[in-house]
Amino acid sequence: MFDEYNPLAQAFRVARNRFESNNQEAVKLRLIGGRETDGRTYNLPTASEVAALIIGDVGSSVGESDIIVETKSGQLQRLNELHPSYLPLQYPLLFPYGEDGYRLGIQLRDSTSINRKRKKLTMREFFAFRIHEREDEVFTILWSRKLFQQLCVDGFTMIESERMCYIRTHQKQLRVDKYKNLKEVPRQNTNSSSTGKPMILPSSFTGCARYNAETYKDAMAICKWYISPCEAVWRILGYDIHYRTPSVERLSFHLPDEQSIVFEDDEPLEDVMNKSGINSSIFLKWIDCNKKSHKARNLTYCEFPTEFVWHKKGRKEWRERDQRYSIGRIYYVSPGSGELYYLSSLLNIVKGPTCYEDIRTVNGVLYSAFKEACYALGLLEDDKEYIDGSMSRPEFVYEQIWKFLADDVLFRQRSILQITDLMLSEEQLKDHTLALIENLLQSNGRSLSQFPPMPLPDHDLVSHGLNKLIQGELCYDRTSMDLEHKRLSSCLTDEQKGVYDEIMNALAGDEGGVFFLYGYGGTGKTFMWKTLSAAIRSQG
């Protein structure tokens, strides 16, 4: 049957016969990826359409999606799942006549209509079409039992592969920066690639590189282990994977002029700044809506989506909701984010602000910072509660308890330097205390600079004064060093004594200098070094 009706089988037979007649001849079989006829008219492909026998060099006649079959190429060849012959080669029993599988460029019905935006058939639609029963067609695929199940799972894998390929080839190189930073860029700098930072999209963002990688891994794991043929069919037919009601509107917010601006890597900055709505955002549009609508002024930001809907297309704005229901959710911000965190706390309380100042106003009093407004509203604990464990006003608490921390710091410094009567000034104690706090924060990826207006320690003290290597060298006992010095110096020869006196006199007179001590092995160079080291350390 295959020899008589399957053009692929016929092409392979011709290639085999030619090779058997002359095995010294370089014979290759080209499986043609392009089609001239319209597959919608159910035209079965002919042997000349699906394959061509090539004698000698392949040349430039091979298309990009063509498959070349040869006796031995020395390397593996990956078959493109978009090749029309991919499915009939993989499943010859399901496609006994060599019917084409999916290929790029299949036209939709009535694709010439002006109102139709999309003209081409997707791979998901192709598989959804093939797994349905149809009059005047034999149900070969549907009656193939386990082979049909395998086809469904492989089909879904092909769909995911094609989708990720499209995303990868159509994704733009993006950068992101805050609006106020773009305004401050010098006018002579027109290169956007030197502004902002590359936008590394999270794996949850459809279309980014990390999303592609995660989706690929998920797809491979699902298709190999978890996805069943039933689920594959469900996904091919485009049914919902999960259902959620009511819908949730994610509400972004930002500090003044700090909305994120996304732009292409090669886009001129002047064009970026001249874009319509560049200085706006969903958050600022909410504030604008509060200026116009009495109903809006009676709602918090989270309550706003219950009565209003955000229109993303055309003129982006909030409009009163005519139907359905939605709830709002403000994006989470960690407490370490400073003013942005306090702004998020206020947005859960304040109703209908018409400007940023309204959010910072409590009982008619305009506060200078969102943190102070939170404190006035009682959203943050008072100082007594902080001393018991709160983090609302760290700078105030630090001034209250730094002396308790300094007692421990003084003990630590005395232990490190082995000076039991060590005394430090109040400023030195504060600096050592802040340095210790900074060191602990940095070990957890944080810094005192993230908790303004906390004072900052001396950077040299943090990087050098608390350096474990340096402190390790300073960990010695002066009394034991004095005894060691007396013992070693009493054993010096006259020549060694002369070297010792010259170096110690230079140190005593603060003269400095470079001294080079040369001698054969066993002449006492190390002994000389130990004596000098003990002498200097015994003096502190």
Helix (H, G, I), strand (E, B) or coil at 309: strand
pLDDT of residue 116: 67
pLDDT of residue 460: 67
pLDDT of residue 61: 45
pLDDT of residue 389: 42
Residues 422-464: tens digit of each pLDDT: 667 788 788 888 888 888 888 888 888 888 788 888 766 645 5
What pTM was computed for the model? 0.49
Task: Pull the structure tokens for residue 112.
Answer: 């010439």
How far is Cα 123 from Cα 127, in angstroms, rounded to an integer? 6
Residues whose CB is less than 8 angstroms from the CB of residue 52 and which lie 6 or more positions away in sequence, other chains included: 29, 30, 32
C-beta of residue 69 within 8 angstroms of C-beta of residue 28: yes
Residues whose CB is less than 8 angstroms from the CB of residue 435 and which lie 6 or more positions away in sequence, other chains included: 457, 458, 461, 462, 465, 466
The series of mean pLDDT values per 10 residues for the chain, 540 residues long, is 81 79 69 60 52 46 55 64 81 86 80 69 89 83 89 88 72 67 62 58 52 55 67 87 76 88 78 79 92 92 92 84 86 83 92 94 92 87 47 74 80 73 76 85 83 78 54 69 88 87 85 79 83 84
pLDDT of residue 83: 80
Helix (H, G, I), strand (E, B) or coil at 233: helix
Give residue for tokens 């943090």. Answer: 462
pLDDT of residue 405: 79
pLDDT of residue 88: 85
What is the separation, in whole angstroms, between the first and last Cα of the chain? 100
How far is Cα 348 from Cα 71, in angstroms, rounded to an integer? 71
Q: Where are the alpha helices (DSSP H) in 185-304?
A: 209-221, 229-236, 269-273, 282-292
Give residue for tokens 């009535």. Answer: 110
pLDDT of residue 386: 44
Q: DSSP assignment, residue 94?
A: T
Q: Where are the alpha helices (DSSP H) in 418-455?
A: 426-442
How far is Cα 500 from Cα 479, in angstroms, rounded to an integer? 21
DSSP per-residue string spanning 398-426: HHHHHHHHHHHHHHHHHHHHT-TT----H
Using the CB atoms, write b or e for 94-122: b if 16+ within 10 Å. Answer: bbbebbbbbbeebeeeeeeeeeeeeeebb
pLDDT of residue 370: 92
Residues whose CB is less than 8 angstroms from the CB of residue 65 and which lie 6 or more positions away in sequence, other chains included: 33, 34, 80, 82, 83
How far is Cα 426 from Cα 436, in angstroms, rounded to an integer? 15
